[in-house]
Amino acid sequence: MNAKEVFRQTNILYFSLLAGQVLFCSVIVFAILNPETRQTGWPEGTYGLLVPAILVGVLPLVFFINNRQLSQGSEEENLPAKMAHYRTLVILRSALIEGVNLFSLVILLLENNTTFLIFFGAGLLLFLYFRPSMNEFLQHYQLDSGEQAEFNYQ
């Protein structure tokens, strides 16, 4: 499998995760926007501080894992191994962020409080920040001249 095919598959996975989050959010918002039951304002229920605490806790974790894995990626022995390492990193960081986003949406549904959309929005911005890119791969994986030729050829 060549580098462009791996990036295409990685991007398809990433955008599928993104679309799933947005679709799930849309369904939940549609379900709770009944004017008689809608709540707004800072959450006072059981989950009021749980979602922001998890979001704040996962944020540094994602950055730490991302930076650590990117620095180790250049140690891989060949281009396919580097591509596989990068794909694994994209899946890992996307899954961590998506987990927090989906948790925010579930709590939004349970608490019936649209304030939790703020946390979902913050998580979605973080998810978008970590979009996979060829530039990121080239910057952090230090391809040698043979790998660069193979990468550009593919």
Task: Give the start-to-end residue ranges of the domains of the chain.
Answer: 3-153
Q: Quick one: pLDDT at residue 127?
A: 94
Q: Quick one: pLDDT at residue 90?
A: 93
Q: State pLDDT tens for residues 70-112.
A: 888 888 888 888 888 999 999 999 999 998 999 888 888 878 7
31-35, 51-55, 132-136, 150-154: segment of lowest average pLDDT:
31-35
Phi, psi (deg, nearest 5) at residue 137: -60, -50
The C-alpha atoms of residue 37 and residue 23 are separated, in whole angstroms, by 22
**64-95 in b/e burial notation, b at 16+ Cβ within 10 A?**
eebeebbeebeebeebeebbebbbebbeebbe
